[in-house]
Amino acid sequence: MNITVYLGAYEGNDPTLKEAVEKLGTWIGKSGNRLVYGGSKSGLMGVLAKSVISSGGEAIGVEPAFFVERELQYEELTQLIVTGDMSERKTKMAELGDAFIALPGGTGTLEEISEIMSKISLEHLDAPCIIYNHNGFYNGLKQLLGKMIERGLSTEKRQKGICFADNLDDIFRLLM
């Protein structure tokens, strides 16, 4: 299975997050699944790719040309797909994914997983969409999605495919 992971290009200031990213990458690498991610060597993105590859797994990076020109790509990738821009990158990552995980990240991570959540809600995509709520990072998003239902702007049926996981074991169970 291709597992598309969205996460930060920075490491952040929670050392337990980096440990969780390493564990997720190790699991992907050892489980026979393949990582699809943004292709960067920086921050949590680089930590994830390194842990997948060092565990014997495959990692596909999808990187826009302007990042490659700045040499931000992880050099040891199984495959690097270079796109013209960020929109093409998002499209390619969605096309390649059989499952989608959002780890804590910045506005880019939020944008990318929001598009996946929308596609799942519209039934244009039938795949697991997992929000890793590490140390409550996505509590606000979970609350917002609940408020959408409460206010009649969404439904439980539309949000059925969007799952929140509070720990890695929850993620592993959702993917098996």
Domain boundaries, the chain: 2-175
CA distance 69 to 131: 31
Write out pLDDT tens, residues 33-63.
999 999 899 999 999 999 999 999 999 999 9
CA distance 110 to 13: 18
Of 31, 32, 1, the C-alpha closest to 101 is 1
Please tell me the predicted confidence (pLDDT) of residue 176.
Answer: 85
Q: Which two tokens stand for residue 69?
A: 């020109």
Write out pLDDT tens, residues 56-89.
999 999 999 988 777 778 889 999 999 999 999 9
Please tell me the predicted confidence (pLDDT) of residue 74.
Answer: 81
pTM metric for this prediction: 0.95
Count the Cβ atoms, other than its own, within 10 Å of residue 139.
12
Strand (E) or helix (H) holding 61: strand 58-64
Write out pLDDT tens, residues 88-146.
999 999 999 999 999 999 999 999 999 999 999 999 999 999 999 999 999 999 999 99
2-175: what CATH class?
alpha beta
